[in-house]
Amino acid sequence: MDLIKMTAHELKDRLESKEISSVDITKSYIDRIDKVESSVNAYITLTTSQALARAEEIDDRRAKGENLGILAGIPIGIKDNMCTKGIKTTCASKMLEDFVPPYNATVTQKLNNEGVVLLGKLNMDEFAMGSSNENSYFHKTMNPWDLTRVPGGSSGGSAAAVAANEAVFTLGSDTGGSIRQPAHYCGVVGMKPTYGTVSRYGLVAFASSLDQIGPLTKDVEDMALVLNTITGYDKLDSSSYNKKYEDFGENLTKDIKGKKVALPKEYFSDGIQPEIKEKVIDVAKKLEELGAIVEEVNMNMTDLALPAYYLISSAEASSNLARYDGVKYGYRANNYDNLVDLYKQTRDEGFGKEVKRRIMLGTYALSSGYYDAYYKKAQQVRTLIKNEFDKVFEKYDIILTPTGPSTAFKIGEKINNPIEMYMNDICTVPINIAGVPALSMNCGFDSNNMPIGVQFISKAFNERTILQMAYAYEQNRDLPNITPQI
């Protein structure tokens, strides 16, 4: 029995039947981390001793017959921009290299209440700014399918850990595709829920109107399990939506006959790798075989999403990151002449190149004389993009698109070309701008045996339909027997 290859729901069933123990699972994952982590570099901070102690505690409670959460005893990893009490939360930045939060993020606390076993904090692009995981202050994470390629970003560590079997599931954050794009590159399932369904309290802010926490899992059923645990209203988060959330797994096995699927022509343009177009069209054909109705549509605002996103997100980042000044907490420069120089030296030394680039862009967009021309205009475009999604969803249940324009590229290939790097998010940023949910999952491989992701998108708070459609495809897809390099 190879425990590290099992899904969360498979492990859950065996734990509940007492066929295996949480200690068994945790030791298997720690052994796996010891074996491959030096090659993958998915983690920033490992908490293996605490993990074993936690697993023993869960096993003792189970033996006593206590009521436990549905994910009790399952070993997981959390992206290093979510606060964990007593455990470093660095955002992969020199600025927060030694920051230990005095409290838990709401999602962290919810998972703790479930009884999960935390293996550690996962690597990311600094302050979640990046599409390749090459912007971490600590080290680059490698793609388990090919160690010479990037795992995607900013949640690259979260995706790589699942793909390399270094965690059963992980949490990531998605501002413009930072869960779905790494899921695409690493061949796992990744979902950005509707904005406001998962509390952002304790998530270190990048762009507050776009950031959303979501899971990365081995299959769709696991996705439903984790969403059931982390969603819900939180009075500590002013953007949290107060509603009753139904069981995300309830509709998984239902027939999809009659469901209407939209294929936007703009997502299949010349800029999309031909092999990706082919595989996504194959998904559409499979859904048709299962009874869905697939039609082409136009979404003419798509080309405007990327520039609008980078203006809005950079403006919000420049505001959110103003708090890192060397006075209150975090890194402080050692040599400075006065208070203003302290600010300058601290921010110059503490932030990486990509973070500085986005702060400068955002500050410029918000500056006097340019606010109306850039930031205000981007917000107006945002409204038009949201309206376009709303219009499509009046007729269709799902929008089906590629997750990204290309498969995982070589490490270093695009790091010196910011515009080319930003183009990797062209298929994912419109979803964040509209605030709607989307899921990426593997639908095949390219000629280099690298995973290809397909993206299921639906209207706000319609995650259950996404999961139903994705599950139907997952149960009927025919993928070649290709496995990660590591």
Active site residues per annotation:
79, 154, 178
* Cα distance between residue 159 and residue 157, in whole Å: 6
Laid out side by side, the sheet with 75-79 consists of: 43-46, 117-122, 75-79, 169-174, 212-217, 189-192, 438-445, 451-457, 398-402, 260-264, 293-297
Phi/psi zone of residue 133: left (φ > 0), alpha (ψ -120 to 50 degrees), beta? left
111: alpha, beta or left? (left if phi > 0; alpha if psi -120 to 50): alpha
CA dist 241 and 212 (Å) reads 13
Which conformational region is residue 81 in: left (phi greater than 0), alpha (psi within -120 to 50 degrees), or beta?
alpha
Secondary structure element (H or E) that encloses residue 217, with its range: strand 212-217
Can you tell me the distance from the alpha carbon of 141 to that of 109, in angstroms, rounded to the nearest whole number?
27
Element (H, E) at 379: helix 377-393
H helices then E strands: how many in the chain? 15, 11
Residue the block writes with tokens 């436990």 = 68
Instruction: Give dist(CA 296, CA 461) in Å, integer.
Output: 24
Q: How far apart are CA 37 and CA 437, in angstroms?
A: 32
As a whole number of angstroms, the distance between CA 149 and CA 275 comes to 18
Spatial contact of 147 and 102, defined as CB atoms under 8 Å apart: no
Q: Where is 77: in which H helix or E strand?
A: strand 75-79
Q: Are strands 293-297 and 398-402 parallel, antiparallel or unpaired?
A: unpaired
Length of the chain: 486
Q: How far apart are CA 421 and CA 36, in angstroms?
A: 28
First to last CA, the chain: 19
Instruction: Give dist(CA 454, CA 470) in Å, integer.
Output: 10
Give the residue ranges of DSSP H helices in 321-459: 339-350, 353-366, 377-393, 418-422, 429-434
> Which secondary-structure segment (H or E) carries 76?
strand 75-79
The answer to whether the CB of 111 falls within 8 A of the CB of 117 is: no
Query: Residue 303 — φ and ψ, nearest 5°?
Result: -65, -20
